[in-house]
Amino acid sequence: QKEVEQNSGPLSVPEGAIASLNCTYSDRGSQSFFWYRQYSGKSPELIMSIYSNGDKEDGRFTAQLNKASQYVSLLIRDSQPSDSATYLCAVNRSGGSNYKLTFGKGTLLTVNP
């Protein structure tokens, strides 16, 4: 069973702080890694993708990947109340005729004003 594990939270940070979200995965064949944001009752929204070891920055978001440790993280700098949501880690074992994602259960982030 290919698993993606996340701390369910809730993770609570004050406005302006750095939020750190973590994810581990079990399938060493995983090639692509994603962070989705999901507001309550809404659909997952893609916010970051990362494919190689190291850091990838996009605005206030930084994704980090360590394939040897099978670990992905997301840092959110200068957290805003609007960042309050569930953050889903998803991985893909590319190849074949689909790009199916396996999701973690998500970490609920609350940013307090």
Partner 1 sequence: EPEVTQTPSHQVTQMGQEVILRCVPISNHLYFYWYRQILGQKVEFLVSFYNNEISEKSEIFDDQFSVERPDGSNFTLKIRSTKLEDSAMYFCASSLTVELFFGSGTQLSVL
The verdict on 43 binding partner 1 (CB under 8 A) reads yes
Q: Which residues of the chain form beta strands (DSSP E)?
A: 4-6, 11-14, 19-25, 32-38, 45-50, 54-58, 61-66, 71-76, 85-92, 101-103, 107-112
101 contributes a contact to partner 1 by CB under 8 A: yes
Taking CB under 8 A as the binding criterion, the range among 22-30, 60-68, 77-85, 88-96 that sits at the site for partner 1 is: 88-96
Of 46, 59, 80, 81, the one binding partner 1 (CB under 8 A) is: 46
Interface pick for partner 1 out of 61, 67, 70, 103 (rule CB under 8 A): 103
The least distance separating partner 1 from the CB of residue 113, rounded to whole angstroms, comes to: 26
Question: Helical H runs in the chain?
Answer: none
Q: Is 34 among the residues that bind partner 1 (CB under 8 A)?
A: yes
Q: Is 107 in the site for partner 1 (CB under 8 A)?
A: no
Q: How many CB atoms lie within 10 A of CB 63?
A: 24
Rule CB under 8 A: is residue 69 a binding residue for partner 1?
no
The closest alpha carbon to 61, from 51, 46, 71, belongs to 46
Q: Taking a C-beta distance cutoff of 8 angstroms, is the pair 9, 108 a contact? A: yes
List contacts with partner 1 (CB under 8 A): 32, 34, 36, 42-46, 49, 51, 88, 90, 92, 94, 96-106
